[in-house]
Amino acid sequence: MRNTRRMSSRTSPIGRQITIRRTVARDAKRLTRLVRGSGAYAGQYASAVAGYRVGPDYLGAHRSFVAVDGEEDGGRVLGFYSLILAPPELDLLFVADEAQGRGIGRLLVAHMQSEARAAGIDCVKVVSHPPAEDFYHRVGAVRAGTALANPPAVPWDRPEFEFRISPE
């Protein structure tokens, strides 16, 4: 099954159609580059993504979706997310640096909520990167606590959020 949803072109960084589609194994390298190159993880946060790999096995195991600009398979990757169903968690959400501030993250969150709703999930947890805290507030997540530092992998506390999914 291929889950493709065309989004409004007005949100595209260059005025083209944005497609959110299920990830496939061949997306893994591009998504890994997006994660490792994220400006949000520069400086003190760089260790969190250094060597990080989004593998084809990971993409196959979770509901992962990618936003692309233009052509569905060959377009530029604007962002992606991964929804783990049990227990429900938004595990990854990244937007390419050059696409930030253009509504891509909001589109991905709305898509994630739709996927969660379709799976019968009423609440999705997010352990956020500290600089992303304001973003999660803006897209409707509710602060639920703090994930304590876990050195050496993650040497800082992280805000925890919940998306409460309405049944519609």
Domains of the chain: 18-121 (3.40.630.30)
| Burial class (CB within 10 angstroms; exposed 0-12, middle 13-18, buried 19+) of 32 | middle
Higher pLDDT, 155 or 29: 29
Burial call 8-21: b when 16+ CB within 10 Å, e when fewer: eeebbbeeebbbbb
Question: Of the spans 4-8, 43-47, 97-101, which averages the highest pLDDT?
Answer: 97-101
Look at residue 133 in the predicted model and tell me its pLDDT. 95
Confidence band, pLDDT 50/70/90 cuts, at residue 140: very high
Comparing C-alpha atoms, which of 141, 148, 7 is closest to residue 78? 7
Please give the structure tokens belonging to residue 12. Answer: 């595209």
Look at residue 8 in the predicted model and tell me its pLDDT. 36
Each residue's pLDDT tens digit, 33-63: 999 999 999 888 988 898 999 999 999 999 9
For 2-29, what is the mean pLDDT? 68
pTM for the model stands at: 0.88
C-alpha span between 27 and 51 (Å, rounded): 17
Confidence band, pLDDT 50/70/90 cuts, at residue 12: very low
Please give the structure tokens belonging to residue 36. Answer: 């490792």
Contacts of 150 (CB under 8 A, 6+ apart): none
Look at residue 16 in the predicted model and tell me its pLDDT. 67
Q: Is 3 left (phi over 0), alpha (psi -120 to 50) or beta?
A: beta
Each residue's pLDDT tens digit, 111-136: 999 999 999 999 999 999 999 999 99
Phi, psi of 3 (to 5 degrees): -100, 105
